[in-house]
Amino acid sequence: MRGDAVMLAGSAGSGKTTIALQYLVNGIAAGEPGIYLTFEQMPDQIYRDALSFGWDLRKLESEGKFRVVCTSPSLLIEGSGAEELLGDAIKDVGAKRIVVDSVSHLSMFVPDGDLRKEAYRMVNYFKVSGLSSLLLWESQQEYGQAFNVTDMGMSFLVDSIVLLKFIEIESAIRRAMVVLKMRGSDHDKSLREYEITKDGVKVHSSFKNYQGIMTGSPTRVAAERFADVFREAAGRKGK
Amino acid sequence: MESGNLGESLLQNLLGSDLKAQLLVLFRRNPGLIDAIDGIAIRVGKKKESVEADLKDLVEVGVVKEGRIGGTPVFSLDGKRDAEVQRAVGSYLMGSKG
């Protein structure tokens, strides 16, 4: 919803940046200009990555619909840093959406125990400025363990949390996403497969007939395994 | 100053050191960069002390502008001045060819 803060968590290579860029490009197409705030990745790399999906960010920037702001996390948390860094850009492009890449990087520059306060301050600044925000979080991909969002201590300040995860099915790595939280909504709780195509991210239907997907190593449900046995047996008879 | 002289002096200043050229490329390729001196130094793989003088030179030429966030000095590309510098250097180079 407009003005909401969404956290997108996933490990390296899960497609967080692609989804974030797609979120901004789609916003611009819908009349909502956007800002990409990056700490680590340089803007010229972001322009290049986006162009490989056909999104010409430099052109959008020259049209006044988009802006990349690249800075150090320490500046964002200094005094009224968010306003001083982003105020002009928000006004210039009439921004309605913002991506922060990444809150996990910001956390490295904030003294222990202060991350919640600083992230809360930042999210509130976005809200009062009328911005919907997408906050990226680089999480560890730990096979055999489900993701525990409360470990981050951040869940209370965002309205929604989407988790991206690599899973192994039949010796192949596939990608899954799930909405862990959506404030005030009975949201879809199924794990959906997604793929990164030349046009961006495409979300598919949910994984059926598998259990334990959150562990990263799902197994087929018992009924499916029985069905496999019968299918195999039928196949042998047919030969 | 005539644009030829201006172009020549700017060119000499800008090409005075490899690091200055690296900093100029960094700001030109990333016009959205606004950072403190430590952050800029990290982005060109150097220590703060080694970029200080060259960064100040770029501020003097005007292609980089200095501002403040809280109490910290920050640096970013001055797009308008950079375009003027590019024009002056360009016309000097074209003139010196002939």
User: Would you call B34 and A78 a contact, using CB atoms and an 8 Å cutoff?
Assistant: no
Q: Do B70 and A68 touch (CB under 8 A)?
A: no
Average pLDDT estimate for B28-49: 96
Contact B36 A42 (CB under 8 A): no
CA B92 to chain centre: 18
Distance in Å, alpha carbon of B25 to nearest chain A alpha carbon: 11
The pTM score is: 0.86
Sign of the C-alpha dihedral computed for residues A7, A12, A13 and A18 taken in this order = positive
The rounded mean pLDDT for chain B is 87
Measured in angstroms, the CA of A83 and the nearest CA of chain B are apart by 9
A43–B33 C-beta distance less than 8 A = yes
B85 pLDDT band, cuts 50/70/90, is confident
Determine whether the interchain pair B39/A68 forms a contact, defined as Cβ–Cβ distance below 8 Å: no
| B33 chain-A contacts, CB cut-off 8 A | 42-43, 70-71
Query: B84 pLDDT band (50/70/90 cuts)?
Result: confident
Residues of B in contact with A78 (CB under 8 A): 69-72
CATH of the domain at B32: 1.10.10.10
Whether A97 contacts A35, CB under 8 Å: yes
Is B36–A70 a contact, with Cβ atoms under 8 angstroms apart? no
pLDDT means per 10 residues, chain A with 239 residues, are: 91 95 98 97 96 98 97 89 93 98 90 86 95 93 52 79 89 90 85 94 85 69 65 70
How many domains, in total, are found in chain B?
1
pLDDT band at B36, cuts 50/70/90?
very high
Alpha-carbon gap, residue A106 to A82, rounded angstroms: 12
Instruction: Write out the residue range of the structural domain in which residue B48 sits.
Output: 3-97
Q: Quote the pLDDT of residue A60.
A: 98
Residue of A42, A74, A80 lying closest to B30 (CB–CB): A42
**What average pLDDT does the segment B56-63 reach?**
92
pLDDT at A29: 98
For the segment B63-73, the average pLDDT, to the nearest whole number, is 94
Q: Given CB atoms, is B79 within the 8 Å cutoff of chain A?
A: no
**CATH code, A5-238:** 3.40.50.300
Model pLDDT, residue A146 = 47
Lowest-pLDDT range of A103-112, B27-36, B41-50: A103-112
Q: Quick one: three-class SS letters along chain A?
A: CCCCEEEEEECCCCCHHHHHHHHHHHHHHCCCCEEEEECCCCHHHHHHHHHCCCCCHHHHHHCCCEEEEECCHHHHCCCCHHHHHHHHHHHHHCCCEEEEECHHHHHCCCCCCCHHHHHHHHHHHHHHCCCEEEEEEECCCCCCCCCCHHHHCCHHHCCEEEEEEEEEECCEEEEEEEEEEECCCCCCCCCEEEEEECCEEEEEEECCCEECHHHCCCEECHHHHHHHHHHHHHHHHHC
Q: Which residues of A touch B70 (CB under 8 A)?
A: 75, 78-81, 84
pLDDT given for residue A227 in this prediction? 66
Are B36 and B74 in contact, with CB atoms under 8 Å apart?
yes
Q: What is the mean pLDDT of residues B16-23?
A: 89
A68·B32 Cβ contact <8 A = yes
The confidence score (pLDDT) of residue A199 equals 94
Contact with chain A for residue B60, Cβ under 8 A: no
